[in-house]
Each structure stands twice: as structure tokens, then as C-alpha cells.
């Protein structure tokens, strides 16, 4: 039986892997790393990896947040992620892990670019200023993986998902990503009898992937992807923030107000999913309305015991 170490095991995608991992038993034994191991500390990281001796690693751990956390804490977003990624990849190599899946983000792509964005365009220009600390840390991780592949013959692969959402997300009102933050605000607006305030104009467009879909694709890549090239993971369709907000609000029935005193961030991040579709031509993504419904139902059941 092969063992799979999942860093960030209690996060959004780690929780999704935990939910689906029973489908892969008895072929794999999963170990989910949580906050008891400080991956910013190399001695803790190498000690844990040496004791476990995993066959594979799925590296999801990161210091993450939405637009406003990235803008207010760029040093933390840069330095914490540089430490985490360097330690995980170095310890993986030192303990003989030959295959590792590392998770990037579409924010790594240049702010000024042609669309759709593909995997070869990561370093074609600077990222958007709103998340440059996080973006550069993730870019460096892709370079790290390529260097370890070249020097040590490893199979360290970077996946690049678009905006991930789902149960077990971070629903903090300031530090969350777009869908969980909107769900929480919409929920509170309904409770308090107030309008649902959406920050920004609602015009930026994004592609969204349900966390359980991402978990399934990651497992397919771990088992069957015969390349070390980075790969974008995304449905083809994209939605405006206005469309997403309205889809969420159908479950609550609030008045919606768009507060344009807040920044929109990058207007588009349209990603080319052709490499993924060639690899998994029959893969079916969860429709956005179904994913949002399932996420809202989970949030209501768990509230207030959710990540805030």
C-alpha cells in the first residue's frame, strides 16, 4: 500500500481529499498534515517527513487569503509561503519522495497578458499588484519543482486551479476568497434584515472550481499524468462576480448593493483548460449553481462552527 502525505490537510482542498479518499482504498493510505506541524520550520518538517516516509506528497498548505488580505499583508503572504514551499519540497527530496503534486493559483499569471492564459505564460510579466507577494512565492515554487526535477530526476508537478470553493472553506469576512466571503455576508444580511453588500462593481470575471472536483482531478494527476509540465485545472466557463452574487442571493432573497468604493482587483484571469481536457476528456465539473447550493447548505449546518 502506497502512502500519500497531504499538507494543508484541514483546509479547503485537503478536506475535499479527505472526503473522497475512501474511493482509493486499499490502494493508498492517506495522512493529512494539520497545524501541529509548522511547515515554516524546516527542522519540524524534515523530522515529520522522515518519520512518516511517504511515497507521495500532495502539497496544499499555504498562507492564503482573499483580495484584501493580500493587499494588507503582502510580506506575510510572500515570506510564509516561501518558507512553507521551500521546506516541503526540500524535505520531500531529502526523504526520497519521487512524486509530488504542488498547488499554485491563477494569480501567478501576469496582470497584462493575452487571454486565455496558458501554462507557458506564468513568467511573461509581473502579476497584479494586489497579490504580488503571494503570486511571486507561488511562481518560485514552480521553479523549485523544475529545478528538483532537473537535478534529482524527480516528478514534482504543479497544478494551477482557478478559484476554488466548497465546504470547509475559510468564511472570514475580510480574509476569505470571493465565494465564501459572499456567502457569509449574504447570510448575515438576511439574519440582520439588511442589504447584501458586494464589494466592488461586480464586473470582474472568474472561473470557479468546486473543491471536490479539484480533489478528484489531483488524484487523477497523481495516478495517471505522465508529465512534469504544470497543468491548469479549471472549467471552461467563467462568471462575473455579479452573477455569482445573484446565484448566492437566490438562497436568501436580500437586496443587493454593489459598493464601488472597494477595489475590483484583476478584471480577468481567463485560463486555458485545453491541456486538462486533453488529459481528462470525459471529466464532468460540478455546475456552479449546484456547488454553491451544496456549499451554502454545509455552511448553514455548521455555522457558527466554521472557519472565520
Domain-embedded: residue 289: yes
Domain-embedded: residue 248: yes
Domain-embedded: residue 121: yes
Domain-embedded: residue 73: yes
Domain-embedded: residue 156: yes
Which residues touch 215 (CB under 8 Å, ≥6 apart)? 13, 16, 17, 19, 20
Domain-embedded: residue 279: yes
Radius of gyration of the chain (CA): 19
Domain-embedded: residue 308: no
Question: Could you list the pLDDT tens digit for every one of the 308 residues in the chain?
Answer: 899 999 999 999 999 999 998 887 678 989 998 778 999 999 999 999 999 999 999 999 999 877 778 888 999 999 999 999 999 999 999 999 999 999 999 889 998 889 999 999 999 999 988 889 999 999 999 999 999 999 999 999 999 999 999 999 999 998 888 999 999 999 999 999 999 999 999 999 999 999 999 999 999 999 999 999 999 999 999 999 999 999 999 999 999 999 999 888 778 889 999 999 999 998 999 999 999 999 999 999 999 999 88
Contact assessment for residue 42 and residue 87, using Cβ atoms and an 8 Å cutoff: yes
Q: Which CATH number does the domain housing residue 122 bear?
A: 3.40.50.720
Active site members: 134
Range of the domain at 133: 2-302
Domain-embedded: residue 307: no
Number of domains in the chain: 1
Q: pTM of this prediction?
A: 0.94
Amino acid at each position: 500500500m502506497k502512502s500519500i502525505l497531504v499538507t494543508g490537510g484541514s483546509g479547503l482542498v485537503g478536506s475535499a481529499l479527505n472526503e473522497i479518499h475512501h474511493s482509493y482504498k486499499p490502494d493508498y493510505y492517506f495522512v493529512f498534515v494539520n497545524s501541529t506541524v509548522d511547515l515554516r520550520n524546516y527542522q519540524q518538517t524534515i523530522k515529520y517527513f522522515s518519520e512518516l516516509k511517504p511515497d507521495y506528497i500532495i502539497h496544499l498548505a499555504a498562507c492564503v487569503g482573499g483580495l484584501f488580505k493580500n493587499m494588507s499583508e503582502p510580506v506575510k503572504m510572500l515570506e510564509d509561503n516561501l518558507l512553507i514551499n521551500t521546506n516541503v519540497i526540500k524535505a520531500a527530496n531529502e526523504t526520497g519522495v519521487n512524486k509530488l503534486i504542488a498547488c499554485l493559483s491563477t494569480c501567478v499569471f501576469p496582470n497584462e497578458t493575452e487571454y486565455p492564459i496558458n501554462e507557458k505564460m506564468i513568467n511573461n510579466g509581473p502579476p497584479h499588484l494586489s497579490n504580488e507577494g503571494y503570486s511571486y512565492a507561488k511562481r518560485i515554487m514552480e521553479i523549485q519543482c523544475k529545478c528538483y526535477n532537473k537535478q534529482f530526476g524527480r516528478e514534482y508537478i504543479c497544478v494551477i486551479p482557478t478559484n476554488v470553493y466548497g465546504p470547509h472553506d475559510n468564511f472570514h469576512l475580510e480574509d476569505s476568497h470571493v465565494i465564501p466571503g459572499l456567502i457569509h455576508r449574504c447570510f448575515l444580511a438576511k439574519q440582520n434584515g439588511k442589504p447584501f453588500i458586494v464589494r466592488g462593481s461586480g464586473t470582474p470575471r472568474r472561473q470557479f472550481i468546486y473543491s471536490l472536483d479539484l480533489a478528484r482531478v489531483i488524484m487523477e494527476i497523481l495516478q495517471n499524468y505522465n508529465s512534469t509540465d504544470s497543468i491548469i485545472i479549471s472549467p471552461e466557463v467563467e462568471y462575473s462576480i455579479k452573477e455569482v452574487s445573484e446565484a448566492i442571493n437566490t438562497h436568501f432573497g436580500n437586496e443587493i448593493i454593489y459598493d464601488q468604493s472597494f477595489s475590483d482587483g484583476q478584471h480577468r484571469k481567463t485560463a486555458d483548460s485545453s491541456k486538462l481536457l486533453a488529459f481528462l476528456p470525459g471529466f464532468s465539473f460540478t455546475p456552479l449553481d449546484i456547488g454553491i447550493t451544496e456549499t451554502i447548505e454545509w455552511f448553514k449546518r455548521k455555522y457558527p462552527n466554521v472557519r472565520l
